[in-house]
Structure 1
Amino acid sequence: MSKSSLLIGVAIGYVLGSRAGHERYEQIKSGASKVAQNPKVQAAAGRAQEAVGQQAAAVADVAKEKAKEKVASATHRS
């Protein structure tokens, strides 16, 4: 688990479990919004989304080839 995932999980847990009231919730929400709107965060999110898209395409290609191999193997057995 990456450090950012852990921090996000802790923040969500705190918000959901907090008894600090609405004011603290609004402070946390405002801070999270500021972080989300940060250009560096936006750029990182874009890069991550692009990387996931590339990996998904690569995995799909591998799965497609494996499926073709299985079909070919099954039809040659008959």
Structure 2
Amino acid sequence: MRYRITFFAGLAIGYVLGTAAGRERYEQLKKSASRVAQNPAVRNAAESAAQQGRQYAGKAFVAVGDHLPQRLHRVMGNGSGKASADDDWGTSNT
């Protein structure tokens, strides 16, 4: 019960502070976030991180491949980290 009261008190305080800032401040924050997201350096860093993640996932699959369920072997194919065209997870590459 104590946690519920704390949660609702925090919610109320956040609402009051949020409405005090107003729509204008929200639009400023939204514009700043959009500008950062469109920055080429940020986009390159995000793509590089995604590419490294795919590489590490492929290596991890190969390293523990014998211990994974058969369904994952079918979906992952040769251990490259890419789904096959006929996977049943709804993520085909075609």
**Normalising to structure 2: TM-score of the pair?**
0.49
**Aligned equivalent of 1:51:** 52
Count of residues in correspondence between the two structures: 53
Question: How big is the shift at 1:66?
Answer: 4.2
**Aligned equivalent of 2:63:** 62
**Aligned equivalent of 1:38:** 39
1:18 maps to a residue whose letter is G
Consecutive unaligned residues of structure 2, counting only runs of 5 or more, are 1-13, 69-94
Q: 1:22 & 1:44 partners in 2: Cα distance? A: 31
Higher relative contact order (CA 8 A, sep 6+): 2
- Closer, same or farther: CA 31–64 of 1 in aligned 2, 3 Å: same
Consecutive unaligned residues of structure 1, counting only runs of 5 or more, are 1-13, 68-78
Q: What is the RMSD computed on CA atoms of the aligned residues?
A: 2.2
**Aligned equivalent of 1:76:** none
Runs (4+) of structure 1 moved beyond 3 Å? none
1:37 maps to a residue whose letter is Q
User: Percent identity between the aligned chains?
Assistant: 40
1:34 maps to a residue whose letter is R
Q: 2:49 & 2:67 partners in 1: Cα distance? A: 27
2:41 maps to a residue whose letter is K
